[in-house]
Amino acid sequence: QALLAIENLVVDYGSARALAGVSLSVCKGEFVAVIGPNGAGKSTLLATITGLVKPKSGTIQYEGRRLGAEPPARRVRDGIALVPEGRRILSNLTVEENLRVGETVRRGDPEAARRFEHVLATFPVLRSRLKGYAGRLSGGEQQQLAIARALLSGPKLLLLDEPSLGLAPLMIEQVYETLVKLNEDGLTILLMEQNANRALLAGDRAYVLRHGVVELEGPTATLRTDPAFDQAYF
């Protein structure tokens, strides 16, 4: 059952075409990666799913309903959360303050307090450093913070833009282990990656995106050994 179904999405920036008819789907409980080099259209795809960018044509269905002109905040309430590229944490605020940034939006949500506790239990590193400045966290810990913050809205679908970007190999492992665990606990994940090798180890299925076009798709286990994969990506 598709949680997210995208058909023939076309996005232009002025006269430049960023997405040229992209179709993809994510089933409930799946971990799907979109792999592609810089400029492939990964951020544009996420911006369109979250409602920041309007497509020229094509459709996005979420939970069987077509997404239209509703504002991004509405999509967050409906369960779509984004971990943006570069983490975008607030270095001069504490870890706790970073986590409480979205709180006014969640006011009145009876689940919010319970979720806050659950998220802290998932990220012991953050719990132990709640009063410390977020800027003092390592890159990997900052990524964990960005993921934790996104989880506070109680998403059904977690979107991530290049979660391994700029991280040391060990940190990348930590972040991916976290994502795999979240997925095992039932969270549906769609992530964008340039780090093809890492994404292909983690996900169930992957799409290879280049120049706004899906060039290849399939189960990660198949793509890992598909001779066409190297060609498509490199």
Residues of the shown chain interacting with ligand ADP in the complex, contacts defined by CB under 6 A: 13, 16, 18, 36, 38-44, 85
**70 phi and psi angles, rounded to 5 deg:** -65, 150
d(CA 88, CA 109): 25
Q: Alpha helices of 109-157 — where are they, by DSSP H?
A: 112-122, 124-127, 139-151
When the beta carbons of 99 and 162 are compared against ligand ADP, the nearer one is 162
Cβ of residue 211: shortest distance to ligand ADP, in angstroms? 8
When the beta carbons of 14 and 108 are compared against ligand ADP, the nearer one is 14
Cβ of residue 106: shortest distance to ligand ADP, in angstroms? 26
Cβ of residue 121: shortest distance to ligand ADP, in angstroms? 31
Question: Which residues, at least 6 apart from 109, have a Cβ–Cβ distance to it below 8 Å?
Answer: 154
For residue 119, the one-letter residue type is V
d(CA 35, CA 154): 26
Cβ of residue 38: shortest distance to ligand ADP, in angstroms? 4
When the beta carbons of 20 and 180 are compared against ligand ADP, the nearer one is 20
Cβ of residue 24: shortest distance to ligand ADP, in angstroms? 14
Buried b / exposed e over 115-134, threshold 16 CB at 10 Å, is ebeebbebbebbeebeeeeb
Cβ of residue 64: shortest distance to ligand ADP, in angstroms? 27
When the beta carbons of 126 and 172 are compared against ligand ADP, the nearer one is 172
Provide the 8-state DSSP code for 56: S
When the beta carbons of 40 and 223 are compared against ligand ADP, the nearer one is 40
d(CA 212, CA 215): 9
Do the strands 57-62 and 65-66 form a parallel or antiparallel pair, or are they unpaired? Answer: antiparallel
When the beta carbons of 47 and 81 are compared against ligand ADP, the nearer one is 47
